[in-house]
Structure formats: structure tokens, C-alpha cells
Structure 1
């Protein structure tokens, strides 16, 4: 894991505590390995494909928590809204990086295939073990924070052009009219850190950790 942080008091990594956590962490590292081999340091294109995956868990979790609340006739304690907001936020990340990276037709096909496979896989993981599902997302977001930190470093070093921010991103994050890619990456990274902390907290609640 990287050591770059948004705030000094934000933990970068939650160590696996049990077999469920180790499965979640191993699954995340496996996907990270594939992403590293496929995209290398093409972070804009990497973000396009990975954000379509990142937008799935919140919608799946929100749906299944909604159905659970209906079955049990019990309040969800705010989980449904939190998860659906997360899905919407990740979708906006995708829309933003599509404007920046301009994915090829091949990458658009990869997006469709990745979403098809991951949606079904994550749906069954959440049915079997919501705690594992949320821990997976927590680890996904740890990796996202690290990747966007590397992207930011590359922009600062001049490796990636600090292009103007898309109008969509300026409206969504209420950025200055002259905002650049660097401002967008900082905003997205902050979102991912929030999702990381929320999903690790949800996983902890489900296994009784305080």
C-alpha cells in the first residue's frame, strides 16, 4: 500500500482481521495486479474502466439493503441513502474521466464486459456475506486513493498534462471556472477516501467491531 494521505489522521490501510477480510484483500490485490498490467500508468484510461466497477457496489448494496429493510420491516439506519449516494458519486467520476481520457471503442467494450461480470459477482458476494462485500469496497477505495495520489504526483511532475477540467466536473464539485485536471483529481481522491472509510465502517459494524 502507498503511504500518501489526504489527511494525517486518515488511515491508509485497514489490516485484514479474519478469513473474510483476507479474501477481500486478496481479491482486491488480484484486480490491482490486472489493472497494473493492462493500463500501466495510463491513469485517465484506468479511471474510466475502474470507475464503472466502482459505481456497482453502492447500487447493489443499496438494493439489497432496501429489500432487507422491507423483509424485516425495520429501519435501515441510513445505509440505503449512503450507498446510493456513493453509486451516484462514482458514476460522476466515470462521466468526468470519459471527458478527459476519450476512451476508444475497445475500452468501451471492456467497460461493458467488466460491468457484466463484476455486477453479477458482487451481487452474489453481497448476498452471501455483506461484511465481505463492504470490506472489498473498503480495499478497492484504498487502492483508488493510492492510484489518484500517483496520478496527482504525475501531474505535478509534468508527466500528465494538466488540462482544463470538464464543465461537468466544475458543476458537480463546484470548482472554480478555471479549474484544471489537478483540481479534479484532488476532488475525486477525497471522494474515494470517504467511500473507503464508510465501507470499512460498515464492514466493522457487520462483524461487531467498535
Structure 2
């Protein structure tokens, strides 16, 4: 049984309102391109989601070197998040099989988001992590809708791709639904951790600030 639950952190502070608005803009752009085409929508979703962990990991790595202080595991956790999201992308590339035009759009979107997210992280790491927290909230909603479409028969519950079976150590006869459930659980973890990272910045409980 999964202990998954949909959550939303209500924006109260200015930084949270800014982060939420950025997320809603990303969602709007995503809906323009793919709307309810869940597999192809997931390709774009995971392309963007694979960026923050790597960008944040790099900046925290450089900060730790600069300040000569222990990062207390933040860098490894952020890089693990990036790796996990990259695997989600690999899985959905196998499921959606995007055309070369769509792959080009993915690359352009990824390039643009790397620049934008890096700028946000430099200006405010707190807002950057809050953006990811809200973004993962939307991912959880999207995958919940995806599961609903599978359950009502609107999306075929095809066999799980081998890459997903191997990555999640699923049964050989696993289906698409089993994979989506696992991915949604990952997104829920990233949602909670990034909101907690943003909270830590709020409270100044950061490795770089500790003595």
C-alpha cells in the first residue's frame, strides 16, 4: 500500500507567492503544448524536473568549497534527486516515443530552464527550492490524473518498459500503472524535501551558515 497523499503548501509569504506564480506560469506553458497528452506531457515535465537538483547541487558544491564548510549531505541528496528525475525522463521517452521535432523542443526547453533556474537560485535559493516544491505538487496532481485515465480505460495500461522494471525492481509482468505509482511516490518525496529545503533557508538552518 502507498502512503501517498496530495499536498499543497499555501503561499503566505511574498517569496512563496513569487515561487507559486513562477510554477503556475510553467504549468500554463506546459498545458499549451500538451494539455492532456499525459505521456508526452510527462516528457516535458521530467525534462524540466531533472534540472533543479543538478543546478542546486552545483551551486551548493561551489559554496561548500568557497566557505570550506561541510554541506551535511545536501549536495549528494540534490544530485540523487537530479538522477532520479533523469531516470523518469528516460522511462517516459520509452513510453511516449517523441518525434525529432518534440525532442528538439525538449532540448530547447531544458536549455532555457537551466538558465532561468540558475538565475533564480543565485538571486534566492529559498525561492528556487520553493519553486521546485510547488512544481512537484503539480507533478503529483498530473500523475494522479494520469492514473485516473488508466483506471477508467482512457489510457491503455500497457506493459511497463524494461528500463522502469529494472530501475524500480518491479515484477516482470508489471504494467504502466505500477510505474506511474512509483514515479508519483518519487515526486512526493522531492516535493516534501524541497519545501523543507526552502524552510531551512527561511530559518537560516543551512550547513553554510552553521559554525
TM-score (norm 2): 0.94
- What residue is the counterpart of 2:136 in the other structure? 141
1:196 to 177, 191, 194: 191
Query: Could you list the runs of 5+ residues in structure 1 that have no partner in the other structure?
Result: 1-5
C-alpha separation in 2, matches of 1:13 and 1:193: 11
CA contact (8 A) 2:6 2:137 kept: no
Q: Is the 8 A contact 1:49 1:107 kept in 2?
A: no
Residue aligning to 1:106: 101
| Superposition map of 1:26-41 within 5 A | 26-41=21-36
Higher deviation after alignment, 133-142 or 35-44: 35-44
Q: Give the distance between the partners of 1:76 and 1:140, measured in 2 at CA.
A: 25
Equivalent residue pairs, number: 204
**Alpha-carbon deviation of 1:18?**
1.2
Instruction: Output one character per residue of 1:65-101: Cα deviation in whole Å (capped at 9) or x when no partner.
Output: 0000011111111110110000000000000000000
2:125 aligns to what?
130
Kindly indicate whether residue 75 of structure 2 is the aligned counterpart of residue 88 of structure 1: no
Runs of 4+ residues deviating >3 angstroms: none
Q: 2:145 aligns with which of 147, 150, 158?
A: 150
Unaligned ranges ≥5, structure 2: 206-211
**Superposition deviation, residue 19 in structure 1:** 1.2
1:7 deviates by 3.3
**Are 1:72 and 2:62 an aligned pair?**
no
Q: 2:9 aligns with which of 14, 26, 36?
A: 14
* Residues 96 and 166 in structure 1, CA contact (< 8 A), matched pair in contact too: yes
Distance, in Å, in 1 between the alignment partners of 2:178 and 2:6 is 23
TM-score, with length taken from structure 1: 0.94
Match of 2:54 among 51, 59, 73: 59
CA shift, 1:31, in A, is: 1.2
User: How far apart in 1 are the matches of 2:129 and 2:89?
Assistant: 21
Q: Cα distance, 1:37 vs. partner?
A: 2.3
RMSD between aligned residues: 1.4
